[in-house]
Amino acid sequence: MSGFIEWLEKLNDTDTKVRAVLRRSLAFDPGEFPAAFPFVEPFVKNEDDSWRRKMLYLVAGLWAAHWRKDRHGASISLGKACAARQAHSPSTERRFISLLDADPDQLPQRLRQMVALLKDFNLDFDALLTGLLYWNGERKRTQNQWGRDFYRNPNPENETENAVDKEGNA
C-alpha cells in the first residue's frame, strides 16, 4: 500500500491543488467527488471491490486534511496516537471505543472525527489504509490491532500488577 501514499506525496509536491481537492472530497461519501477521481482511481484495481475504492478515497481525504509541511520523524499507528492523546484528553478513549465499534456506514464519519483530533501526531497512513481494507473481516483484525496499540503499555519498563517478578513468581 505504501505506493498510494507515496504517490500522493509526489503529486502534492508538483501540484498544490491535490490536497485541496482531496480535503474537499471528505464532504462527500467516499468516492463520490468527481474532482478527486484523477488522484485515486489509478489505484482502484478492481471495479467490483467497492470497499477498497471507498477506503482509498477516505484515506486520501484524511491524508490531505492531516498533511502538514513540518511533519518529520517516524509515523505511528492510529491506536498509538489515540493512546498518546488520551493522556491529555480522557474523552479520547470513549471516542476510540466508538470508532472500533463502528459499522461500515459509520466508519467514515467517526474516522474523520478521530483523525481531526490527532492533528498533532504523524499518523502512518499506509498502515491506516491497510487496516481499513480489513475492517470488515470476520476476525476484526484491524480493530484488535488498534485496540492492542491503544492499551498496550507504552513503557515496557513499568510492570503491571499481574506481571511476573524477576524470580519468575506471579
Give the residue ranges of the chain where pLDDT is below 50: 1, 155-168, 170
The grid cell for 106 is 459509520
Give me the long-range contacts of 30-35 (CB less than 8 A, separation at least 24). Answer: 30/54, 30/55, 30/56, 30/57, 30/58, 30/61, 30/108, 31/56, 31/57, 33/57
**Rounded to whole angstroms, how far apart are CA atoms 78 and 146?**
7
**Listed residue (165, 29, 54) closest to 109, CA to CA:** 29
Q: Which residues of 118-128 are buried (b: 16+ CB within 10 A; e: fewer)?
A: beebebbbbbb
Provide the 10 A C-beta neighbour count for residue 82: 26
pTM: 0.85
- Reported as a single tens digit per residue, the pLDDT across 90-101 is 899 999 999 999
Domains, the chain, in order of start with CATH, read 2-151 (1.10.520.40)
Query: In degrees, to the nearest 5, what angle opens at C-alpha 97 toward C-alphas 33 and 133?
Result: 45
DSSP collapsed to 3 states, 52-77: HHHHHHHHHHHHHHHCCCCCCCCCEC
The set of residues, in sequence order, having a beta carbon less than 8 Å from that of 93 and lying 6+ positions away, is: 82, 86, 150
C-alpha cell read off for 27: 464532504
Per-residue model confidence (pLDDT) at position 74: 84
Burial (CB < 10 A; 0-12, 13-18, 19+), residue 81, is: buried
- Residue 95's pLDDT is 96
